[in-house]
Structure 1
Amino acid sequence: MLKLDHIALGANDLEKSCETLSQQLGVLPFGGGEHELFGTHNKLWRIETADYPVYLELIAANPKAEPKRARWFGLEKPFLSEDIQLLGFIASTQNIDGLVQKPPFDLLDVIDVTRGVLNWRFGITKDGALLDDGALPYLIEWQGGRHPLDGVAPQHIELKSMAGKALDGLDLNWPCMLARGGAQALSVELIAANGETLRFKRA
């Protein structure tokens, strides 16, 4: 069974959007960094769920970096709006090679990625586009027993719910309320550290 690993938001300007999102969430990111392979950079927040912590990633193209392959998460082109965008979600597995052999993940290629002490294998489309426009997740298999949330204290952000047309067909341990079925695009509902509800939806 797959496990929800993290949720990805996108922006044109990482620093400006990080300031906005930090205000909305009521807490600063615990970390982040650069992805040399993809020419992107990110900021991270810890999210609590009913079963286990996941993390929220705010990611953007890095204007100072030249990607070595197509940027992931559909970040090849800038967004038309300066608003923070819901991109999709990432599911973790211990059998990424097996999963990409059959639908719906057979459009993914498995690559090796490294950043600092973190190493992972990632299932991504050849052109960096989101799988089924974000309705289906990218896949990740962490290597070496390390994870971005190691040693990170709770930040008092909660994942309340996710909804989307493809979610009920996934063999995934959903640690939150799940709105199943329908034709709706992917959406995520968070409870910020200040108690406010934040909603993000695929455009």
Structure 2
Amino acid sequence: MPCTIDHLVIAAEDLDAGAEAVSATLGVPLAPGGQHPAMGTHNRLLSLGEGEYLEVIAIDPQAIPPGRPRWFALDSFEGAPRPVAWVLRCDDLDAALAAAPEGIGAPMELSRGDLAWRLTVPEIGVTPFDGLFPALIEWEEGDHPAEQLPPSGCTLERLELFHPAAEALEAALAPLVEDARLLVRYGALPQMRAVIATPHGPRLLGP
């Protein structure tokens, strides 16, 4: 039941500033995204090739607060835009949930335009392992965001996760994903970074 990498989440305090920073780093423009009324957030998107993309996400100051912790720990986010989460695409979300650690969260049914999906959202807004364990997503049949985005010439080259309990994190991931681009390493502080191949050479997002 392996899942596959679906998308990377880059948090920002302000969406326009975050999108501009990521675009400057990668040397390519981001595409429009949309709003998430259930979470009070909005985003911009970038294709990372077939079936994968990157989103820059921030709290939408015009949205009604959701009355619960927002996803990806956005309520407490501050500082420069950086990778804070990643999402695994699963053909059978319920089966994947059975193999995931406690605290992954219950699936929420969400939609935006002609897109509809189920995504695990923890009650506290943070996935296990200080947010380094991925959220799990199952898209309804039909379009996927990556299919609607213009080609960017960018692909995910490497995703690195650093955590004090690296071995436990790696063991928790093993039943769900096997991807040579995914590296789990010891780090005194939980953090993640992504190496993106671009038309201008590899670029680093994160510390």
Pairwise TM-score range, normalised by the shorter structure = 0.7 to 0.9
- Give the structure with the larger helix fraction: 2
1:49-64 aligned at under 5 Å gives the runs 52-64=50-62
Do 1:3 and 1:92's aligned partners in 2 also have CA atoms closer than 8 Å? Answer: yes
Do 1:161 and 1:177's aligned partners in 2 also have CA atoms closer than 8 Å? Answer: yes
Residue in 1 that maps onto 2:82:
85
Residue in 2 that maps onto 1:31:
32
1:180-199 aligned at under 5 Å gives the runs 180-183=184-187, 185-199=191-205
Counterpart CA distance in 2 for 1:193 and 1:117 is 30
Counterpart CA distance in 2 for 1:6 and 1:167 is 19
Q: Which runs of 5+ in 1 are unaligned?
A: none
What is the TM-score of this pair, normalised by structure 2?
0.84
- How much has 1:161 moved relative to structure 2? 0.9
Q: Deviations over 1:142-191 (max 9, x none)?
A: 013221112434211121112223346433142x5333443474321112
State which of 174, 177, 180 in structure 2 corresponds to 1:172: 177
- How much has 1:135 moved relative to structure 2? 1.8
Q: Secondary structure at the match of 1:126?
A: coil
Matched-pair identity in %: 28
Q: Which runs of 5+ in 2 are unaligned?
A: none
- The alpha-carbon distance between structure 1 residues 154 and 77, as it changes in their structure 2 partners (threshold 3 A), is same
- How much has 1:16 moved relative to structure 2? 1.3
Residue in 1 that maps onto 2:135:
138
What is the TM-score of this pair, normalised by structure 1?
0.86
- How much has 1:37 moved relative to structure 2? 0.6
- How much has 1:106 moved relative to structure 2? 5.3
Residue in 2 that maps onto 1:71:
70
Q: How many residues align?
A: 195
- The alpha-carbon distance between structure 1 residues 167 and 9, as it changes in their structure 2 partners (threshold 3 A), is farther
